[in-house]
């Protein structure tokens, strides 16, 4: 027997919205005990907090404003802290820097990111970090804003093993998605092999990034099982061990309520 947790998904996005019961049933079939629902806007904070309250122990919530969400979002420290105060909100985020579409909004993104780190420190809750084409800048900000006091996770990690070790030094671990199952993920697989047993988690980022053999479908939290199965193959460890280690790491980092 084994039990998994999806450490990052968006079950409230339009593709999955209103299907909580079905998602939970599918999770149970696949030995997925729980999933962390991550908000990307202030309005979604309400949705994921309600989802977690309605399904205790099945869904947990994380609240933040994504770096690519509208500039008009309420993203000050106080607004973020308020959205994250609920006991079912176990992390602050997702937040970070995303330069995939260029650096036009860099200043806004940096201000927003700093506000999240400040709110996390105030609440003593860990951070969920989104970083795309911006890992060095993200790491610099985490260090400069003393994010190590609360720690957190670099979700959908695509950096290398060296950067992973740098992150560990400031109290940040990594989380791997279904990209692990894609062709051309050799570098990421190598990073996973280098991760210490207590230094990584698995996630879906549903509704995106459906793993093999579900490519092209809408991804659901249950598919974290495919990610974990891939991790087992890559690390040459039994699935049971992957499940136990990633679940333990999730609990250590996020302290979910019972």
Footprint on this chain of Zn ion (rule: CB under 5 A): 94, 130, 205
Whole-number Å distance between alpha carbons of 49 and 15:
19
Terminal CA-to-CA distance of the chain, rounded, Å?
21
Whole-number Å distance between alpha carbons of 14 and 117:
28
Q: How far is the CB of 4 from Zn ion (least distance, A)?
A: 18
Residue of minimal Cβ distance to Zn ion: 130
| 3-state SS class at 63 | strand
Q: How far is the CB of 96 from Zn ion (least distance, A)?
A: 7
**Is the Cβ–Cβ distance between 9 and 223 less than 8 Å?**
no
Our CB check for Zn ion shows the closer of 12 and 235 to be 12
Nearest-Å Rg of the Cα atoms of the chain is: 17
Whole-number Å distance between alpha carbons of 229 and 243:
9
Our CB check for Zn ion shows the closer of 55 and 130 to be 130
**Is the Cβ–Cβ distance between 125 and 89 less than 8 Å?**
yes
Q: How far is the CB of 66 from Zn ion (least distance, A)?
A: 7
Our CB check for Zn ion shows the closer of 75 and 94 to be 94
Residue with tokens 């947990």: 60
Q: How far is the CB of 16 from Zn ion (least distance, A)?
A: 13
Our CB check for Zn ion shows the closer of 27 and 129 to be 129
Q: How far is the CB of 54 from Zn ion (least distance, A)?
A: 21
Q: How far is the CB of 47 from Zn ion (least distance, A)?
A: 14
Our CB check for Zn ion shows the closer of 64 and 235 to be 64
Our CB check for Zn ion shows the closer of 94 and 229 to be 94
Q: Residue 221: CB partners within 8 Å, gap ≥ 6?
A: 6, 9, 11, 23, 26, 27, 32, 35, 204, 206
| 3-state SS class at 230 | helix
């Amino acid at each position: 027997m084994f039990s998994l947790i999806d450490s990052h998904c968006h079950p409230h996005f339009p593709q999955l919205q209103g299907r909580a019961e079905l998602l939970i049933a599918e999770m149970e079939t696949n030995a997925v005990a729980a999933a962390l629902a991550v908000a990307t806007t202030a309005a979604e904070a309400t949705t994921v907090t309600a989802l977690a309250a309605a399904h205790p122990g099945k869904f947990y919530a994380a609240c933040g404003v994504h770096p690519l969400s509208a500039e008009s979002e309420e993203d000050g420290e106080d607004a973020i802290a308020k959205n994250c105060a609920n006991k079912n909100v176990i992390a602050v985020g997702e937040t970070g820097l995303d330069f995939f579409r260029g650096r036009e909004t860099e200043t806004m993104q940096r201000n927003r990111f700093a506000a999240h780190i400040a709110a996390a420190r105030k609440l003593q809750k860990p951070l969920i970090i989104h970083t795309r084409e911006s890992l060095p800048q993200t790491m610099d900000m985490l260090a400069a804003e003393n994010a190590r006091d609360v720690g957190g996770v670099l979700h959908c990690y695509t950096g290398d093993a060296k950067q992973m070790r740098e992150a560990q030094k400031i109290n940040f671990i990594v989380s791997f998605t279904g990209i692990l199952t894609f062709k051309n993920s050799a570098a990421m697989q190598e990073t996973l092999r280098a991760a210490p047993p207590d230094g990584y988690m698995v996630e879906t980022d549903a509704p995106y990034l459906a793993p093999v053999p579900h490519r092209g479908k809408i991804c659901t939290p249950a598919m974290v099982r495919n990610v974990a199965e891939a991790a087992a193959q890559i690390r040459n460890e039994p699935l049971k061990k992957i499940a136990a280690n990633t679940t333990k790491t999730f609990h250590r980092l996020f302290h979910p309520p019972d």
